[in-house]
Chain A
Amino acid sequence: MKRFDLQTLGVTLFASLLVWMAAASVGLLVGSTGTIGAPTADQMSIRLHTHVLPASMIGAALAMAGVTYQAILRNPLADPYLLGASGGAMLASYVWRLQGVASIAVIGAISPHAFALAGSLLAITIVLLGAGWRGRLDPVTAILVGVVINSLCGALFMLLNAIYRDLPGSGGILTFLVGDIQTTASSAHVAASAWMIGIGGVLLMLMTPYLNVVRLSEDEARSLGVSVQRVRWGGLLVASFVTAAAVAISGPIGFIGLICPHIARWFIGNDNRKLLPVAAALGAGLLTLADVLARYLLGSPHVATLIPVGVITACIGGPFLLLILARIKQ
């Protein structure tokens, strides 16, 4: 493995930061009703705190989770959304809102995130159990089980909503099902997510050398002194942790974790030490741009309400998934 020095890290981070800043700048120029122009101080503050920073944070989290899932599962199709982790987290954080459940959970601002983490881990466990066979994990079967988990979580969500009607979500049933940048989440919840994503990001960055080793065969990894199982479980836990943090305040925004690692790979190759920060920056940038597009479209007379960003990422991610599947076939 090539030596990865501080200079390389600095250049990688700087380039990633530039990518994100370019997207963020566009995000600051587009108003909530599709207007384009230099913002006033008030507008700048609102766009930054309500759209650009949350979108960046959520996008980065999902992309980092995608890089990790793809590495540890050796599956190019792995993504928090397609693996069902987002769906599990979404359902669990909705369950937290049930009357009675919220009062039992006394951990304060962390509660929905703790529920989301449990949901995310449960979903991933089911996928691993469902798609694993004699220690091997078939990539397509894993995605298939993930899709089943997602459908099941969506159905259970609708069932709960039919019984309890409009729980205090942070964005309405539709936006919580397809994922959106929530503009009415409490600052405590957003801050809790930011901390979790930050801590998770640092942990994942520290794990990247091991993620590189996990790509090798189990014997090769062992010869390098790396326990593949330990890295896999650690990676799963931390990736689910950041996924849960993002989903708890946004709902399951799909495909960011799939698209961004692949785009990053086209530019910088497979070294996870570079891939993770670049994919995170791309995730932050892409979700910010998706949010910008949603706001821009609101300026059209044909669009009555803000389109959830989850709809936009799905429109981009669906064809992208088909493209990857076609390449796998070849």
Chain B
Amino acid sequence: MGQRLCVLLNIFLTLLILGCDKPAQTPATTQAVDARAVRVVSLTPAGTNLLVAMGMKDQIVGVSAYEADIQLRDKLPKVGDYQRIDWEQLSAIKPTHLIVQGLRDRLPAGIEERCAAMNIQVVILQIDRLKDIYAAITQLGAALHADDAAKKTVTDLQARLTPRTNPAASNASFTALVLIGDEGKLVVGTDNYINDVLELSGAKNAVAAPGYLMLDVEKGRSLAPDVVFILAPRTNPQTDPKLDNAANRRNNVDAKSILIASDKWPAIKTDRVYAMTDADALLPGANVANVYDFFVRHLKQIPPQDNPPPGSGP
């Protein structure tokens, strides 16, 4: 009886394994496609942003559930995110390219494997610094057969991000603190694209440590920013739908926890706290030009006589 049982279960197991191991579709050779023929699914909002900047909005056929572009998110199928993919929808959409963001070795192994079986080219963007945004545009241009559009986008973006290094024209001696998100605890340090944009706009980051850091009240008291920028996009579909209204969003930037406790900051005393709540405020995409404009616009508002003496920051 035991042997028969083994045989029965082995047959079931073999069927199961054959089923699990079989690719969903038969592999096919990669076909040459031109830019108009590409059909792109972007699982990274930054990738979508870059594609739109490159004039390839019409080629986007699917987005992530966390897409920042509300128009696209409402219009196009939501195919998952960088960790979870709706293969059924992906198969129905039949894209030529799938854009994801992150390190290749952090990507779940099944994504590239299944995409290869479905003849979808995976484009992995890795964006940390401003130069990575330019590199990502070039990478997208090469992958999507849109080199010219990529070159133009890079040139346009570089033209908009003009460094403001002249101390007379800018407020280079000003220290700025950039808070991100609506909890008011995460701040922008150095070695990232927001800091790069901040420096280009002519301000100095009040935080010297690299990366993105949690700021508590104690650490906050050791800083003395002359200006505080809050980048708090309200794009998550799980947040209150009322916040999709721009006016409501501006009223709901509640990055106050650290600000309330930091009444000694020059920025608070002079009421120089500015919030940007655009949906794409935190995307490492072509929208960094808008962030740059936002920084510059508010730094320009500060009268020259308010410039503190050099070295007044921490």
Contacts and interface: CB of A to CB of B under 8 A. Distances in A.
B19 interface: yes
Interface string A29-48: 00111000000001101111
B108 A202 contact: no
B110 A185 contact: yes
Interface residues of A, number: 50
A198 interface: yes
B87 A46 contact: yes
Interface string A190-208: 1100110011011001100
A304 B9 CA distance: 40
Contacts, number: 139
A169 B108 contact: yes
Interface in A150-183: 166-172, 175, 180, 182-183
Nearest to B110: A184
Interface residues of A, dominant DSSP: helix
B110 A186 contact: yes
A190 B108 CA distance: 13
B19 to A, nearest CB: 5
Contacts of B22: 49
A211 to B, nearest CB: 15
Given A183-B87, A202-B6, A304 B16 contact: no
B108 A185 contact: yes
A306 interface: yes
Given A43-B91, A166-B102, A184 B65 contact: no
A170 B108 contact: yes
Contact of B88 (A50, A168, A172, A199): A50
Interface in B64-103: 65, 77, 80-81, 83-89, 91-92, 102
A188 B12 CA distance: 19
Given A49-B20, A187-B23, A198-B17, A172 B2 contact: no
B88 A31 contact: yes
B239 to A, nearest CB: 10
B83 A169 contact: yes
Given A168-B107, A202-B6, A184 B85 contact: yes
Nearest to A180: B84
Interface size of B as a range: 35 or more
Nearest to A199: B13
Contacts of A202: 5-6, 9-10, 13
A304 B83 contact: no
Contacts of A306: 80, 84, 86
A184 B84 contact: yes
A205 B9 contact: yes
A74 interface: no
A47 B91 CA distance: 11
A184 B110 CA distance: 4
B238 interface: yes
A229 interface: no
B5 A206 contact: yes
Nearest to A186: B109
Given A43-B91, A46-B87, A171 B108 contact: yes
Which 10 A-B pairs have CB atoms at the shortest separation, nearest pair first? Answer: A198-B13, A184-B108, A186-B109, A172-B83, A32-B88, A304-B237, A184-B110, A194-B17, A170-B108, A168-B106
Interface of B: 1-2, 4-6, 8-10, 12-13, 16-17, 19-25, 65, 77, 80-81, 83-89, 91-92, 102, 105-111, 113-114, 237-238
Given A50-B88, A183-B85, 6 more contacts: A9-B5, A46-B87, A182-B110, A184-B83, A191-B20, A202-B10
